Amino acid sequence: MKEKFKTLKDVFDLYTEKNLFHMMGQGHFEGLESPIGVGKEANTFSALRKGKRVLVKIYRLQTCDFNRMFDNLRTDPRFDGLKKKQRKVVFAWAKREASNLAKLGKVGLHVPKLIAHRDNIVVMEFIGDEGPAPQVITQKPKHPKAFLEKLIKQMKAMHEAGLVHGDLSPFNLLNWDENPYIIDLSQATPFRNPHAEELLERDVRVMATFFTKIGVKITPGELKAKV
């Protein structure tokens, strides 16, 4: 199986490589195809699973903003008592995304379906066709008002499920066949978090600003009242 990682030998540390081998052995995916993106905390790759494409998200154990991640996690009541140790923080960050995907998938939200999770690796549904669905920032909706109405339903359902995204933006919102798909849920946190209201204010401000720019006038207050 190491042949599958030859071109990626400088990307993974030994611990992550062992985890990848383990997950492949369990049948969660057959092999990495190609890189999709490099984010603030993680690298994402497409992979195959039973002939279908999936997404493998690998949280980096070294080159990540460990302090920011810890500060964000420690106010989430689900991670009360988390120790400030880099590997534990990264594992908790990945676990939070996996847990959020599982919870929101169960209530029918347009988020990637969770397939598997192990330590710093999350395997999830691939949103797109041959290539990944574009971010809304790069492929703006043809009918912005209708798209916003769909997004409002998604945001409302998320909030009814007890979670606020906390980092919602046109960069982590996909436009797949004119339907909004919410991604990057590692920061989503329960409303029991003392910073939840502040995070909600941030989300509605960012999205209201974006949709106003593309022709749908809505204030943060109006959007907040709808979600």
- Digit-coded pLDDT (tens) for 161-184: 999 999 999 999 999 999 999 999
Domain that holds residue 199: 144-226
Structure confidence by residue, pLDDT tens digits, 144-158: 999 999 999 999 999
Residues 73 and 178 in one domain: no
Tokens of 28: 């969660």
Task: For residue 210, tell me if it sits in a domain.
Answer: yes
pTM of the complete model beyond 0.85: yes
Structure confidence by residue, pLDDT tens digits, 130-144: 899 999 999 999 999
Task: For residue 139, tell me if it sits in a domain.
Answer: no
- Identify the domain boundary among 97, 125, 153: 125
Residues 109 and 221 in one domain: no
* CATH number of residue 165's parent domain: 1.10.510.10
User: Which residues touch 83 (CB under 8 Å, ≥6 apart)?
Assistant: none
- Identify the domain boundary among 125, 152, 179: 125
Residues 19 and 70 in one domain: yes
Residues 86 and 32 in one domain: yes
CB burial string 40-56: b at 16+ within 10 A, e below? ebbbbbbbebeeebbbb
Residue positions annotated with a catalytic role: 167, 184
Mean pLDDT of 120-137: 96
Structure confidence by residue, pLDDT tens digits, 28-52: 999 888 899 888 889 999 999 998 9
Q: What percent of the chain has pLDDT over 70?
A: 95
Mean pLDDT of 190-214: 98
Q: How far apart are CA 211 and CA 45, in angstroms?
A: 30
Mean pLDDT of 219-224: 98
Task: For residue 173, tell me if it sits in a domain.
Answer: yes
Quote the pLDDT of residue 7. Answer: 43
Residues 148 and 86 in one domain: no
